[in-house]
Structure 1
Amino acid sequence: MTSGDDRTPRDDVLDLVTRAVDGDEDALAEVLARVQDPVYRLALRMTGRVADAEDATQEILIRVMTRLSMFRGEASLVTWAYRIAVNHLLNLRRRPAETLTFASYRQDLLDGLRAPDYTGPDSALLAEEIRLLCTQALLQCLDGAGRAAYVVGEILGLTGEEAAWVLAISPAAYRKRLERARRQVRQALRGRCGLLDASAPCRCDKRITYAIGKGRIPSSGPVLATHPTGAKRDARTVTAAAALGRLRDVGELLRAHPDYAAPQARAKAVLALLHSTHYKNLLPDQPP
């Protein structure tokens, strides 16, 4: 390993991980701080619900912590954590009631337009919540493998090689899986979403009353539209969010979410393990 001005970012990460594995709590806290928000955003896109994403993130951070000795710098620290996260998320059991289909999704977009127009306060904020909830629901219509491929590649922006490594499949298999998912989400919104097609009937502000009646927006108010965000926002996300009136494709619509921040309480709970059982003694379930 080089030193001084010759040190590369990869060397710095390997040094940080080595110190964390050797018991440096500050180094471990830094590792978790670097991966917790990206992992949470992945978990939220995969699970579709804040509470489920929070639970999954805590479990994933524990897995990251207990497997740090396996990190060899074969990918960036965040990409390496994504691989652990995807493996965990794909193994989560989903309740039958949570299963969504593209057919029911398309029908729901039309059903939501039959309710009376919303005339209450905060209509713009509620319409934004509808947009975020709707695109989250669209992802849930994909099967787990297709959702993972779409999220890591189309939303998180990993290269094909990186995405294939995260999913532990060949690049050719990844490209096939991603294209199928892209085709499915395009077809789901075709002729429905007014953000993508001015002639399509569905408008977020037209669905507010319907969403409230269905309990999709809790009485306490919007969740995603008011969700805390990280200190830094990804440039692609900012561009997409600022250009909702001129979206070019479904991918831009699905990327146009805030850079949600993971709840600090979950990361603190993981770090608290250090004070009860040293994390080096926690055995990983399996390698990433």
Structure 2
Amino acid sequence: MEITERRTYTEAELTERLRQAQRGSHEALEEIFSFLRERIFALAKQSAQNIGLRVADAEDATQETMIIVREHLLEFEAWENMIRFARQVLRNRLGNCHQYRLSHNRLEVPMEKASVSVRMDAQLEAAELERILEQAIEELQRTRPRYAVIFRGLLAGLSKKELCEILRITPGHFDVELHRGRRFLRSLLKKRWGIEW
């Protein structure tokens, strides 16, 4: 297996990539957003851990941040402006998530006080989760068919490129749809079956 070194950039190089992306270079856009996402996700994981959030919350906050930064791409004059804006958005997203968790903190009953044991064996639990996931995707098919297509495609082993061709969307738009679909599916699983994923 070949190990590749991470590319390092100067602020001037990043600002130049930003300008190229603003002029329509897809390669520069992909390069600068890949670098930004890496930075923002590392910061999100550390911040999430510090305030007691899950890695999934950090992933969601990162994706939401990237979407917002993309919407404001033409407004940035330099890399410094872009990263500063991204950090502010991330901080707001994580803060919102933290407040939500605090206000929706579930009452936990110690297992020794529970009257019935609900522990399932691993095979039964996996089969039950698979059944619930299939029901959730069927419900998505009725309410949000595009999300259902994405999840069924991923479960069938299709690549991102293949799904983009099927849906006739760009890879960037696919990421947005996948993020929104995951968030919607999580919400559905929690509301309907009480499963936090």
Q: TM-score, with normalisation over the residues of structure 1?
A: 0.30
Of Structure 1 and Structure 2, the greater helix share is in 2
Structure with higher RCO (Cα < 8 A, 6+ apart): 1
Q: TM-score, with normalisation over the residues of structure 2?
A: 0.42
